[in-house]
Homo-oligomer: A and B are copies of this chain.
Amino acid sequence: MQGKNISDIIEKYLKEMIAEDERVEISRSDIASHFDVVPSQINYVIKTRFTIQNGYVVESKRGGGGYIRIEKVKLLDNIDILDTLINAIGDGLTQREGKAIINTLVLNDLITDNEADLVLASINKQTLSVGNKLLENEIRANIMVAILDHLRYKS
């Protein structure tokens, strides 16, 4: 698993940093030049090895003082149901289906009533009205998946 290619080496390097600090902020170009690879390879490493499924949350900022921040989060136990729901969503979700999912989340104590109300407001038909049913359902699906992904861990 280690050392076969440069991506694995960079992965190991970053994970050693995170093992110490739980949260790490890097400069993409610094890491890239340290390992003598093109900067976009850092994006590749992050996209393939620091996913939320693996328990990592990544944020970044461009411009002067820009950074990539990688944080290790603790995944919760209930994630099977989340995977199931995400798979069911696919790339489209109607309002009715969305409401059903939110209901499930409340019943399983994954979100509170108040949180459910906010999510409902977000995925509401009028809120997402965009003159194209297919696109609307796709956006609703994206939002729902983002929320389910967030529920994978505790902040």
One complex includes copies of this chain to the number of 2
Q: Is A4 part of the binding interface, using a Cβ–Cβ cutoff of 8 Å? A: yes
Establish whether residues B119 and A122, one from each chain, have CB atoms under 8 Å apart when the complex forms: yes
Q: How far is the CB of A35 from chain B (nearest CB, A)?
A: 14
Q: How far is the CB of A154 from chain B (nearest CB, A)?
A: 8
Q: How far is the CB of A49 from chain B (nearest CB, A)?
A: 13
Question: Which residue of chain B is the closest to A69 with respect to CB atoms?
Answer: B2
Establish whether residues A65 and B118, one from each chain, have CB atoms under 8 Å apart when the complex forms: no
Distance between Cα atoms of A155 and B129 in the complex (Å): 24
Establish whether residues A130 and B139, one from each chain, have CB atoms under 8 Å apart when the complex forms: yes
Establish whether residues A5 and B64, one from each chain, have CB atoms under 8 Å apart when the complex forms: yes
Binding site for B on A (CB under 8 A): 2, 4-5, 7-8, 25, 63-65, 67, 111-115, 117-119, 121-122, 124, 126-130, 135, 138-139, 142-143, 145-147, 149-150, 155
Known: A8-B65, A124-B146, A127-B145. 16 other contacts (CB 8 A): A2-B25, A2-B67, A4-B67, A5-B63, A112-B114, A114-B115, A114-B155, A115-B115, A122-B143, A126-B142, A127-B143, A128-B142, A128-B143, A130-B135, A130-B138, A130-B139
